[in-house]
Amino acid sequence: MQTSPVRHSVAQRPVVQRPVAQQPGWPDTEVLRTVKHRLAASLPLVMPRESDLLKHRLAAVAEGRAMLLQGGDCAETLDTSLSVMENRLDTLSRMAAALSGRTALPVVVLARMAGQYAKPRSSAFEARDGVTLPSYRGESVNGLEFTAAARTPDPHRMLRAHEAAAATLNLARALVGGSPTTTRGHVPEELFVSHEALLLDYETPLTRIDPYSRRPYAGSGHLLWAGERTRDPDGAHIAYLAGIRNPVAVKVGPTAEPDELLALIERLDPDQEPGRLTFVVRMGATVVRENLPLLVEKVAASGARVGWVTDPMHGNTYTAPSGHKTRGFDAVLDEITGYFDVHHALGTHPGGIHLEMTGEDVTECVGGHTGIGHDDLATRYESACDPRLNREQSLELAQLVAEIAAS
Ligand code: PEP
Ligand code: MN
């Protein structure tokens, strides 16, 4: 029987007719076409029933019966290793234990992993020493090295990212499925994976019709989210998320208006399905107490049953004197505190936390009990994009959030 490689992929019509923000500007459309056909012919990484299970778990988060712990790299690289994965899973697992121990709520662990290879950028170009090149947009688009060759978008990178995602997920499943004593450290009892649905040339060919429900599901991860820069309710990214049946999330920044969130709910969760939609609030420690209450009130008044989570990282980024992008532990904790205060005052469930973190002993964020300062940033700054909490900072933060959540 003759099979067409694109047979299982979902038609792209509704998506491509809308404005598409933050795409790479591929140089060669013929290569792009070939790559998309190969992605469309490849095996999905996750199954619809797993995504349905995550949706079920997230329904408990939305309804105040569970908490979400979402965490991982800002930008995954292709050179990850077993020990990096073990350390990350161990750290997430200990954080989850701290949160559930203190709140008596189950914790859903959702890694930013096995697909977090595409980055939105505030500037399309980066200038260094008089040389201007395209910004780094993640391993599925171009390379981090500051050379014209590396920074030129290459569609083949989507195939390498897909392979890396498959290998990463394979190992994660082996670690979580195996006996905890055969691995270094702990693993979460149940693990789901998520990433930003940024690169529609990657997501669309990996979207498949579930043969059982006959509905489209992203095959690239269990939960996909739209970022702060691509959350236009009328834009292509939201149209894409509206078309899949996975649980989805949207980042909510400091300028978000209640009507925008109501429009997102209408597009993404018209049936008010618990667990389908999570708002990830990333406003910054200085504004969250002021800006969040109205949003939560209006959404609650609409009758929507969305989940809420705080991302205390992206609104608190600044450049240190050394030139490193960093975040302070105290600002991160302050945003979380403000976020929980708002929910506690309104009687709504704060849901959980979304962090950029690693299980490694890196020096990318300042503060915490180990006292990392600006002068320490150069010691071990390894992130390909935004600064991550290191292992100690992540564990310390989880203890503090557990206290706040239980109070
Ligand atoms: C991110 O999560 O890495 C990111 C770019 O976030 P945001 O869309 O909230 O800026
Ligand atoms: Mn980031």
Reported ipTM: 0.99
Q: Residue 277 Cα, ligand 2 centroid: separation in angstroms?
A: 20
Count other C-beta atoms under 10 Å from residue 33's C-beta.
12
Q: Is the pLDDT of residue 278 over 90?
A: yes
Q: Residue 116 Cα, ligand 1 centroid: separation in angstroms?
A: 11
Q: Is the pLDDT of residue 157 over 50?
A: yes
Atom of ligand 1 nearest to the CA of 253: 9
Q: Say whether 73 counts as a known binding-site residue.
A: no
Atom of ligand 1 nearest to the CA of 74: 3
Atom of ligand 1 nearest to the CA of 75: 3
DSSP structure string for 356-372: EB-SS----SBBTTTTB
How many whole angstroms separate alpha carbon 94 and alpha carbon 87? 11
3-state secondary structure of 229: helix
**pLDDT tens digits for 288-305?**
999 999 999 999 999 999
From residue 130, give the alpha-carbon distance in Å to each of 126, 127, 134. Answer: 10, 6, 13
Average pLDDT, stretch 264-278?
97
Q: Say whether 356 counts as a known binding-site residue.
A: yes
Average pLDDT, stretch 232-243?
97
What's CA 128's distance to the chain center, in Å? 29
* Residue of 117, 231, 238, 282 to mutate, ligand 1, most atoms within 8 A of C-beta: 282
**Which residue's CA lies nearest to atom 9 of ligand 1?**
228
Atom of ligand 1 nearest to the CA of 385: 3
pLDDT at site 19? 78
C-beta separation of 166 from 175 below 8 A? no
**Which residue's CA lies nearest to atom 10 of ligand 1?**
228
Q: Is the pLDDT of residue 1 over 60?
A: no
pTM confidence score: 0.95
Residue 130 has which token pair? 């008089």
Residues 235-256: b if buried by 16+ CB within 10 A, e if exposed: bbbbbbbbbbbbbbbbbbbbeb
How many whole angstroms separate alpha carbon 326 and alpha carbon 318? 6
Q: Residue 314 Cα, ligand 1 centroid: separation in angstroms?
A: 6
Per-residue pLDDT band at 120 (split at 50, 70, 90) = very high
Query: Which residues' Cβ are closer than 6 Å to ligand 1?
Result: 74, 120, 227-229, 251, 282, 314, 386
